[in-house]
Structure 1
Amino acid sequence: MRLPTLRRTRPAEPGILTGTARLDRRTKRLVGRLRPGEIAVIDHVDIDRVAADSLVAVGVAAVLNAKPSISGRYPNLGPQVLVEAGITLLDDLGEGVFQQIREGDSVRVEGNTVFVRGEPVAHGVRQDGDTIAKAMLDAREGLSVQLEAFAANTMEYLKQERELLLDGVGVPDIKTQISGRHCLIVVRGYDYKADLDVLRPYIREFKPVLIGVDGGADALVEAGYTPDMIIGDMDSVTDDVLRCGAEVVVHAYPDGRAPGLDRVHQLGVSGITFPAAATSEDIAMLLADEKGATLIVAVGTHATLVEFLDKGRGGMASTFLTRLRVGGKLVDAKGVSRLYRQSISGSSLLLLVLSAIAAMAAAVAVSTVGKAYLSLAAEWWDDVMFHLQRLF
């Protein structure tokens, strides 16, 4: 497997940095509350690239991690993204940081130490380009172990969900009409914004069923669309989007428990459950396939081993089998924004419009009908000027 080449950066200066602290053990929940210049306090082993991209987009000044940002299980890309964006990363601070720091506290980071109200409350490891490069090199050696665990998880999932995978047993009945249509499934994964933007002509022409997987529903709304369906455990989709009128399918545990269903009902939204051991993006594909979609276009979904591990779930093994099940219906739009970019600039478009106007004017000027209209226009203009001269 070819892994991204790590670009070494200059070590961050151990200067003093201050900001307001925002805390949450779930990074994707915290991102919704963060503001530029604030300090994120998280509990995130192996920060993945999607989480890092969201923190960079918010514009945080620093990230304080109670856990190791790179544990050595595999070469996760999140810490590299944060450091290259100029964000201070201090990790392995310990569980006590969540007791020592409160929401809204003014926090000072100096070197490897965190201060609150002038008192040191935690010490950690300050990451820079060199420390991350070394940790990533060591983590590459852990890929073989993770590959074995991934294979074992895949076999276990096949035993648990063979009826769902082979015969579609357990797929719920839905109101949304999918049979004979395309489905666009959006997950908040790598490059989802750019890929979704490039797909605008496709969406406009084919009008596919728009399915948002948890926060992917927010991504569709942010892009100007209204999702037809929202599928997931409902831990990262916002309240307003849940109320948008889309059909809601709550991802439940195999035993039928669905914690997200309570939240849906509290918002006054009806929802059905889909019990499965797979991930939410996988059950979205399985549902679309079982209900007769002619084509499934996936945005932001996971496809490589590193991405599976980056997702941080043993259940990501289901993705491999789901893709085998869906087969030729699936078109993965990952990276389409890098493959194809619209190259028409504003100046080129203006020149094209002016050229069209000039061509139309020339055609009117040389035709018999055009000359007659020009003569009438000239007489009208003379009348207007004559009346204006009489007024003044």
Structure 2
Amino acid sequence: MSTMIFSRTDETPGIHGHTRDCTGAKGSSTLAKLGKGDIVVVDAPDINRTLAQKLIDAHVGGVVNTGAFTTGNVPNFGPQMLLDADITLVENVDPELPGKVKNGKKGRLNDGKVYYGDRSIGQGEVLDEETARTRFLDAREALIDHMEALSGNTAEFVSTEAPLLIDGLGIPDLDVDMDDRKVLVVSPDPQLEEKLKSLRYFIREYDPVMIGVDQAVDELIGHGYRPAVIIGDPDLISSDNLRSGAAVILPADPDGHAAGLERIQDLGVGAMTFPAATGDATDLALLLAEYHGASMVVNLGPTLDLDRVFDTAAAPGTPSAMLSRLRVGNRLVDSTAVAELYRVSRSGGGWLWAILGILAAVVVIVLIAGLSGSDGFVDNLIDSWNNIALKFQDLFS
């Protein structure tokens, strides 16, 4: 009678493959190393065609998503592409799952659960073709309705704020000189510290006028920078920073009422109001910089892209965001683009600085060798070179 010591886990139901965590900062590098049959964990709500095609080309066995493959905001083709390629899809898994995944370790995906051996490390909901198709059609109808409503809201905003957008009516006059200067608008952002660090060479070179927005003011000053202008709700900014000497501007309703005005008065800080139909301080900051003649406006904060336009949660402020950015026009640049320009410039020019450093060292050596000794410059240089050659000969002989 023989005893079975090892069990064949491949006989257990489900998809067997190496687990790969493609979430977080290192997700893109892991994505490039995918292999056939892998069980891939992604953080990709409304997964797009580009990512779906990469997963298909890698012939993965299953895709586990921390979000929903289709949230309902956009009619995306990614889920249908993956299902057509016979790839199992599991969505809305436990948020802790990526932290439990060990890249390259054999795992199993079955009935919405991810296993290592017999131990489940997380679970979600299996997405089938019928559900994916229904969501796609529903999202397409919702997007049409959303865009029609957005169009109406935009027209209404223009009818109300045409004087502001066209002639700058209501924009405060400032003693801060922005004319033909670069302006950096710093708004609240989850990656503010990282983005600010990536702009340090730009800031050092151009010394831009800084406009701090809402609670980003405290973080900006905390990193050693002094905004020339502060715009936003005073309740979101510390008292010391409101007294820092920057020009303080409060967003106000069209009737002139401004939230936080009482606090400003109690602090004894002089402030101006900026009446507009929008209370978004970032939009007002962009209009302020444009009106006062900025040659370039760098926006450090959330960007306005098509995903945000399609997002129903962002609908109330979207007309203001779109039109303020269109008003700034070709002078508006996202901070990530500026940081990338400096990153490429520094990495691409590194070899040039290395060569210049070597040449400088050679010149110093030549001068020292030629000027040391009692003979002429050339004779001293020849004697020094001969001495160096003899020392190397003795060293290696």
Query: TM-score range with shorter-chain normalisation?
Result: 0.5 to 0.7
Aligned partner of 1:241 in structure 2 is 241
Q: Which residue pairs with 1:377 in the alignment?
A: none
Equivalent pairs counted in the alignment come to 271
For 1:362 and 1:233, locate their aligned partners in 2 and report how far apart those are by CA, in whole Å: 62
Local SS of the residue matching 2:298: strand
Distance in 2 (alpha carbons) for counterparts of 1:217 and 1:82: 35
Deviation at 1:233, TM superposition (A): 2.6
Pick aligned residue for 1:363 from 361, 366, 382: 366
Offset of residue 200 of structure 1: 1.9
Task: Say if 1:311 and 1:359 are closer, same or farther in 2 by CA, change over 3 A.
Answer: farther
Structure 1 runs not aligned, ≥5 long: 12-45, 47-68, 88-126, 373-392
What is the alpha-carbon distance in structure 2 between the residues aligned to residue 82 and residue 164 of structure 1? 47
Contact 1:183–1:295 (CA under 8 A) maintained in structure 2: yes
Equivalent AA in structure 1 for residue 365 of structure 2: A
Alignment of 1:194-273 (within 5 A): 194-273=194-273
Indicate if the aligned counterparts of 1:301 and 1:334 stay in contact, CA closer than 8 A. no
Matched with 1:167 is 167
Question: Distance between the aligned counterparts of 1:269 and 1:71, measured in 2?
Answer: 49
Match of 1:306 in 2: 307
Task: Identify the range of structure 1 (214-223 vs 274-283) with the bigger mean alpha-carbon deviation.
Answer: 214-223
Larger radius of gyration: 2
Identity of aligned residues (%): 35
* Corresponding position of 1:288: 289
Residue identity opposite 1:274 in structure 2: F
Alpha-carbon distance in 2 for matches of 1:82, 1:340: 39
- For 1:132 and 1:255, how far apart are their aligned partners in 2? 51
> Unmatched 5+ residue regions in structure 2?
1-26, 32-39, 46-67, 75-90, 100-121, 375-397
Question: Which TM-score applies when normalising by structure 2?
Answer: 0.55
1:70 deviates by: 12
Q: Is the 8 A contact 1:9 1:129 kept in 2?
A: no
What is the match of residue 389 of structure 1?
Answer: none
Change (3 A) 1:295 1:352: same
Question: Residues 350 and 145 (structure 1 numbering): CA distance in 2 closer, same or farther, change over 3 Å?
Answer: same
Q: Cα RMSD over matched residues?
A: 4.6
Is 1:184 matched up with 2:184? yes
Give the aligned residue type for 1:325.
Answer: R
Q: 2:338 and 2:273 mapped to 1: Cα distance?
A: 32
What is the rounded CA distance, in whole Å, between the counterparts of 2:226 and 2:190 in structure 1?
21
Q: Secondary structure at the match of 2:244?
A: coil
User: Secondary structure at the residue paired with 2:153?
Assistant: helix
Deviation at 1:284?
A: 0.9
Query: Structure 1 residue 330 and structure 2 residue 342: aligned?
Result: no
Shift of 1:158: 0.4
Q: TM-score with structure 1 length normalisation?
A: 0.55
Contact 1:300 1:334 in 2 (8 A): no
2-side partners of 1:202 and 1:325: how far apart?
A: 24
Q: Taking CA–CA contacts closer than 8 Å with sequence separation of 6 or more, which of the two structures ends up with the larger relative contact order?
A: 1
Please report how far the alpha carbon of residue 362 of structure 1 lies from its aligned counterpart in structure 2 after TM superposition: 1.6
Contact 2:93–2:124 (CA under 8 A) maintained in structure 1 = no
Aligned to 2:157: 157
> Any idea what SS the aligned residue of 1:244 has?
coil
Corresponding residue SS for 1:83: coil
For residues 225-244 of structure 1, give each alpha carbon's deviation from its aligned partner in whole angstroms, at most 9, with x where no partner exists.
11110112335333333232
1:287 positional shift: 1.3
Distance 1:334 1:361, change over 3 A: closer
Local SS of the residue matching 1:265:
helix
**Residue 274 of structure 1: how far off its partner (Å):** 0.4
